[in-house]
Amino acid sequence: MKPTVPFSKSILLLIACAFLFATMNAAAQRRGRAPQKSTSKAAGLVDEADKLAADKKYPEAIETYKIAIRLDPNYAPAYAGIADCYDLLFAWGFASAEECLPKAEAAASKALQLDSQLGEAHASLVEIFFDELNLREAKREAERAIELAPNYAMAHHWFGIDVLSPLGQHDRAIAELRRAVELDPFSAIINTSLGYSYILARRYTEAITQLRKTVELDPNFDYAHSMLGDALAVTGQFDEAIAEHEKASQLTGPNNPPTPLMRLAYTYAMKGDREKALAQLNRAVESRRGPFVNAFGRALVYMALGDKNEAINSLEESYREKQSNYINMIRVHPFLDPLRGDPRFERLADQIVPPDSK
Q: Which residues contact 289 (CB under 8 A, 6 or more apart)?
A: 254, 255, 256, 257, 258
The whole-number pLDDT of residue 32 equals 45
Question: pLDDT tens digits for 159-175?
Answer: 999 999 999 999 999 99
Given a cut of 50, is residue 12 above it in pLDDT?
no
Given a cut of 70, is residue 182 above it in pLDDT?
yes
Given a cut of 50, is residue 338 above it in pLDDT?
yes
pLDDT band at 7 (very low <50, low <70, confident <90, very high): very low
Q: What is the rounded average pLDDT for all residues in the chain?
A: 88
Average the pLDDT over 51-57 and give the result.
90
The domains of the chain are located at 42-147, 151-236, 253-358
The whole-number pLDDT of residue 91 equals 87
Given a cut of 70, is residue 105 above it in pLDDT?
yes
Q: Whole-angstrom Cα distance, residue 171 to residue 202?
A: 11
Question: pLDDT tens digits for 219-273?
Answer: 999 999 999 999 999 999 999 999 999 999 999 866 666 788 999 999 999 999 9
Given a cut of 60, is residue 15 above it in pLDDT?
no
Q: Which residue has the higher pLDDT, 25 or 220?
A: 220
The whole-number pLDDT of residue 284 equals 87
CATH architecture observed for domain 151-236 = Alpha Horseshoe (1.25)
Average the pLDDT over 185-204 and give the result.
97
pLDDT band at 341 (very low <50, low <70, confident <90, very high): very high
Given a cut of 80, is residue 13 above it in pLDDT?
no
pLDDT band at 33 (very low <50, low <70, confident <90, very high): very low
Percent of the chain with pLDDT over 70: 86
Given a cut of 90, is residue 114 above it in pLDDT?
yes
- Taking each helix axis from N to C end, the angle separating 308-320 and 295-304, rounded to the nearest 10 degrees, works out to 170
Q: Write down the pTM of the prediction.
A: 0.87
CATH superfamily of 42-147: Tetratricopeptide repeat domain (1.25.40.10)
